[in-house]
Amino acid sequence: MSDKPSDLVQGTLEMLVLKTLALEPMHGFGVALRIEQISSGVFRVNPGSLFPAFNRLERAGRIKAEWRSTENNRRAKYYVLTDSGRKALKEETREWGRQIAAISRILEA
Amino acid sequence: MRPLRAFLMGLKALCHKDQRNRDLDEELSGYIEAAAQEKMRGGMNHEEALSAARAEMGTMETVKQQVRSSGWESLAESIWQDIRYGLRQLIHSPGFTVTAVLTLALGIGANTAIFTLMHAVMLKQLPIANPHQLYRVGEGEYYCCEWGGLEGSWGTFDYPFYKHLRDTNPSFEQLAAFSGGTTSFNIRRAGSSGSAQTAGGEYVSGNYFATLGIQASLGRLIHPSDDQSEAAAVAVMSYRTWKEKYGADPAIVGTTISLDGQPVTLIGIAPEGFFGDRLSAYPPELWIPLSQEPAFEGNGQKSILNSSGDAWLYVTGRLKQGAVPAQVQAQLTTDIQHWLQSERKLNKDDLADLPKQHIQLTPGGTGISSFRSSSKNGLYLLSAASALVLLIACANLANLLLARSTARQHQTALRLSLGASRARLIRAVLTESVLLSAIGGLAGLLLAYLGTRAILLIVFRGATYVPVHATPSLPIFAFALLLSVLTGVIFGIAPAWIGTHADPSKGLRAASRSATHHSAKPQKILIILQAALSIILLAVAGLVTQSLRNLEKTDLGFQTQGRLLASISFKAAGYKPEQLPARYEELQHRLELIPGVRSASLSLNSPQNLCCVNLGVTIGGRTDKWIEDVNIVYNRVSPHYFQTLGTPLLRGRAITDQDTQASQHVAVVDESFARTFFPGEDAIGKRFGMSLPGHGYDYQIIGIVRDAKYKNPSITASPTMFLPFTQTTQFGPSGYQRLETGTLYAQSIQLSVTGAPEGYEKPLINALASVDPNLSVVRVITYSEQIATQFNQERLIARLTGLFSLLALVLASIGLYGVTAYNVTRRVNEIGTRMALGASRGNIVSMVLRGAFSQVAIGICIGLPLAILIGRYLAHQLYAVSRFDPLVLGLSAFVLCACALIAGLFPARRAASIEPMEALRIE
């Protein structure tokens, strides 16, 4: 955690959110925390971009929201991946992989 | 699917705004809570953790705003906000709003009214199937081209050429012919003993209805099989006539009616919206196959159906798929040249003109309308004038908005510094201006409806049927809407741009004084523009009015007061040519017995009405080539004709009862006839005749009358000859023989009466009925009314351009007043200082007036050359108006200056009444 947190690569936030939710339904902070932890603190997600991303994904039908109670018995909005979200994640992951591979090839050439 | 879901969820979010807001609040505070918990795990106490979590998130409102703006509904919402804000602004300043809406309503209303006319007259297609496929062979409108001659650009054709085209031209799917004008028929239901009615009928080819692609509303329409010389006589009636004259009685279809005494089967009723191939105030009431023309015209030489060289048919066809109009046109031109060469006996001069003969293919979907061709230029002029008015209105509104935005400078600066984007502010101002223009457009539509109705009343004064409706249709609505939005953007864009061009720090620091300075320039430019446009409009209106004045003041060469004019059809009443002279004499005698009638007469044509038969003459013993090229107007008149019309007899005698078939054949000619053919000698006693070999001595000139204007005064008058009804000449088989018998039928009756001519309509009709109940009057009108209807269009155009220029003047004056008054308010301080330093009140008044005048003067300098240019272009369309009229131009400039003086005087007086001490104290 010595480095400063980086900005996310443009357009990847939604993919990361989908990936995070693919494990289990989570609330907003849970998603933010999970992304931060898994990236070992490289990415820190700002609520100002996270919540609009939830809104967009929900509009697109990739996730849906439901109110559940948390482990310490508070009401929170949980986001659940839908079938179409799962499909989109697969698609985006494959596309991302192709692009990364291509970029790496260029950088290593 | 996805856009739909996004739309629905956006809609839900809009509808349940509070619920959604609460959810978001809860979610976000949950987030902070969870973040704080996480931080407490790291060792912070609750307070610290909470405030750290809050600091990381930033303000909750910002996040919420970000979430909200991620959907489409936020844009819709902000536009809605702009609209509500705009409406509030408008309600807060009712004076401004009312002024603006009125200005816009006038501007948009004027344009929409003119567009309604344009649309109806020039753009609207006839109510027929696929009208864009229809093309007319030829162009122009002809009334009197029955005898041969080469037309140059051909518009009407003889029947043999039509048949040739129909049977040989490969480019048309269908090619129909029709007579264009209507012929009066006496119509009577079988077994009915009531008096006959007159109906206008048009001769059409058998495929006429099929070519237009229309279906009968009852019965059937004319088929090609009806258009055969041995086919049974049939006719189709117009829907309107069926409804108005026969009470929409379905039983009439299939029955036999009597047309000019001949039995004809009425086979069907045309569809409701179909008024024939043209826009006319007198649409055809009957359609009759071409093949029946000989039967109605006496089967003899009077029939023109099978004669060669008599161009009386309009030809319209449906082009085949893929046919290129330009190619078809070239092919038609080749066709007519070949045809003329092989079928006509062309003389040397005609042969020289042969290469000039051509046929234009014109789109036929809008019909052949004399109204259209004659009013095209007028309509263009009016649209230009109304567009100028709207531009001036836009300039005015732009000025008003500029002044408002200057007043709001402080507010704008505040908004900008609070983070509003400039684009958003521009959008808000534009929303306000478009709102204004939309309201103005609505009011304008109403004005346009009323205006169009008034215009139609003037144009179709005296007509039984008005082929144009004032009720706005979809295209009119679309036009008004588009115009409104466009107007709103045009007058809003400059103020929006300039008004939001504020440096927030500067705008907030200083009072509005420093910020207003740079907006004075656009205002001045707008005033200059208005002045320039106004002077152009004023000059144009001046010219057009001058032209109308000239037309109305023209000496027509006969008296219009105390005269009554009736149109009549002896042919429809079934008269044979040999019966006519005796009947004329009896009728004239009977009419002159009516108490109060000074004299009565009959004629083929009368001035400013049903004009004219044109032909050429030869003069016995003279062989000059130019003689037969002179276009002569031909008329037949009864005794007392000249005295009834009040045309002075200059020399010799008029036609009398003593001129009979047995006596010397005579003619009366007018001055210009005498001057043209017998310059410097006495025309009385000279002889002339029709331009046929051997006829140069047929008529002896017995009298010379003053020139009278038979046609529109703006058309150069032709020399005129008058023959008695009682003398006929044998010409052998030729167009002249048909002319000779055809012109024996008088079409017009004139009465000269004491007192108001209106009171003689009844006695006239009764007198006719007492002579022959079959003689029905087509139309009775006083001569002054007849003359008035002749100038309907000119009058309308003059009045409307006058009205538009007045509007422009008022708008420009208001604009000038507004800007000057505003500048005075802005300069109170400066004026106070000047006065304190010794400037007199007179100095101040002249300073303010100078400011106002300098703008108007620049406007006049720009506008005058343009007005001169436009005047030069217009002059040839107007009557007796010179290409450069210093009086009209000077008067326009003077009127504009006078208005500027008035508009500037009020603010100037206010400026002069400023008390220096008070003005300085404000600072």
The single-letter DSSP state of residue B270 is: -
pLDDT confidence bin for A1, thresholds 50/70/90: very low
Inspect the interface and report whether the beta carbons of A52 and B69 lie closer than 8 Å.
yes
Residue B321 in contact with partner chain A when CB distance is under 8 A:
no
Per-residue pLDDT tens digits for B555-573: 888 888 899 999 888 877 7
Output B275 or B750, whichever has higher pLDDT: B750
CB atoms within 10 A of CB B324: 10
Instruction: Report DSSP letters for B34-78, one per residue.
Output: HHHHHHHHTT--HHHHHHHHHHHH--HHHHHHHHHTTSTHHHHHH
**CATH at residue A35:** 1.10.10.10
| Per-residue confidence band for B463, with pLDDT thresholds at 50, 70 and 90 | low
Q: Is the pLDDT of residue B325 over 90?
A: no
Kindly report the length of chain A. Answer: 109
E strand segments, B54-182: 134-137, 153-154, 172-178
Residue A51, in any domain of the structure: yes
Please report the residues numbered 50 through 69 in chain B whose beta carbons come closer than 8 angstroms to any beta carbon of chain A: 57-58, 62-63, 66-67, 69
Chain B interface includes A85 (CB < 8 A):
no
B344 pLDDT higher than 80: no
pLDDT at B502 over 70: no
Q: Which residue of A has its CA nearest to B58?
A: A48
pLDDT tens per residue across span B771-817: 888 787 777 888 888 887 777 777 888 888 888 898 889 888 888 88
Over residues B217-231, mean pLDDT? 90
Do the chains contact at A27 and B26, CB–CB below 8 Å?
no
Q: Does A84 touch chain B (CB under 8 A)?
A: no
Residue A7 lies in a domain: no
Confidence check: pLDDT of B484 > 60: yes
User: Looking at the DSSP assignment, which residues form a beta bridge with residue B265?
Assistant: B234, B256
Of B752, B749, B754, which Cα lies nearest the Cα of B777? B749
Q: What is the mean pLDDT of residues B598-626?
A: 84
Task: Identify the burial level of A11 via C-beta atoms within 10 angstroms of its C-beta, where 0-12 means exposed, 13-18 middle and 19 or more buried.
Answer: exposed
**Average pLDDT taken over every residue of chain B:** 83
Question: Residue A95 is part of which domain span?
Answer: 13-108
Distance from CA of A94 to the nearest CA of B (A): 22
Tens digits of per-residue pLDDT, B86-101? 889 888 888 888 888 8
Q: Is B471 left (phi over 0), alpha (psi -120 to 50) or beta?
A: beta
**Interface contacts A/B by beta carbons within 8 Å:** 72
Domain membership of residue A6 (yes or no) is no
pLDDT band for position A8 (50/70/90)? low
C-alpha angle B806-B861-B859 in degrees, rounded to nearest 5? 50
Q: Give me the residues of A, 63-82, that contact B with CB < 8 A.
A: 70, 72, 74-77
pTM to 2 decimal places: 0.70
Which tens digit of pLDDT belongs to each residue from B156-212?
A: 888 889 999 999 888 888 899 998 777 878 888 776 656 667 788 899 999 999 988
- Mean pLDDT estimate for chain A: 85
Nearest by CB to B38, which of A33, A46, A72? A33
Verify whether the Cβ–Cβ distance A74 to B70 is below 8 Å: no
> Which of B552, B570, B686 minimizes the C-alpha distance to B617?
B686
Q: How far is A59 from chain B (nearest CA, A)?
A: 5
Mean pLDDT of all residues in B589-605: 93
Name the residue facing A47 among B2, B57, B70 (closest C-beta). Answer: B57
Q: Which residue has the higher pLDDT, B227 or B457?
A: B227
Chain B nearest C-alpha distance from A105 (Å): 35
Inside any domain, residue A85: yes
- Do residues B445 and B112 touch, judged by C-beta distance below 8 A? yes
Banded pLDDT at B421 (limits 50, 70, 90): confident
Nearest to B752 by CA among B558, B552, B584: B558
Mutate to test the interface with A, among B4, B12, B14, B27 (most CBs of A within 10 A): B27
Compute the CA torsion angle B543, B546, B548, B553 (nearest 10 deg).
-160
Q: Which of B616, B547, B435, B446 is nearest to B106 (CA)?
A: B446
Q: Which residues, in sequence order, are CB contacts of B488 under 8 Å at separation 6+?
A: B430, B433, B434, B435, B436, B437, B438
Percentage of chain B lying above the pLDDT 90 cut: 19
**Nearest CB neighbour to A29, from listed B9, B31, B58:** B31
In this predicted structure, which of B66-75, B474-483, B578-587 has the lowest mean pLDDT? Answer: B66-75
What pLDDT is stored for residue B858 in this prediction? 93
A47 inside domain: yes
What DSSP character marks residue B123? I
The yes-or-no verdict on residue B268 having pLDDT over 90 is yes
Looking at the domain assignment, is residue A1 inside a domain? Answer: no
Residue type, B110: A
Please determine, for residue B510, whether its predicted confidence score (pLDDT) is greater than 60: no
Q: Decide if pLDDT at B514 tops 50.
A: no
Confidence band for B512, pLDDT divided at 50, 70 and 90 = very low
Q: What are the pLDDT digits (tens) for B841-888? A: 888 899 889 888 888 999 999 999 999 998 888 887 777 777 778 888
Would the CB atoms of B34 and A48 count as touching at under 8 Å?
no
Indicate whether B144 pLDDT > 50.
no
Contact B2 A61 (CB under 8 A): yes
Cβ neighbourhood burial of B375 (10 Å; 0-12, 13-18, 19+) = buried
Closest among B359, B295, B318 to B161, alpha carbons compared: B359
Query: Pick from A29, A47, A56: which is nearest to B70 by CB?
Result: A56
Name the one residue in this structure whose structure tokens are 């004009």. Answer: B611
pLDDT for B121 equals 73
Residue B723 pLDDT class (50, 70, 90 cuts): very high
Tell me, what's the pLDDT at B213?
85
Domain count, chain A: 1
Lowest mean pLDDT of B110-114, B186-190, B291-295, name the range: B186-190
**pLDDT category, B532, cuts 50, 70, 90?**
very high
Strands B262-269 and B183-189: unpaired
**Per-residue model confidence (pLDDT) at position B923:** 54
Please name the residue of chain A whose CA is at the shortest distance from the CA of residue B35. A29
Domain ranges of chain B: 2-71, 131-365, 570-775
* Contact (CB<8Å) B33/A28: no
Does residue A8 sit within a domain?
no
To the nearest whole Å, the CA of A107 is away from the closest chain B CA by 35
| pLDDT number for residue B74 | 76
What pLDDT digit, counting tens, does each position of B668-692 carry? Answer: 999 999 999 999 889 999 999 988 8
B229 has pLDDT over 90? no
Q: With respect to residue A88, please indicate whether it lies within any of the assigned structural domains.
A: yes
Residue B235 pLDDT: 94
Chain B contact present for A48, CB below 8 A: yes
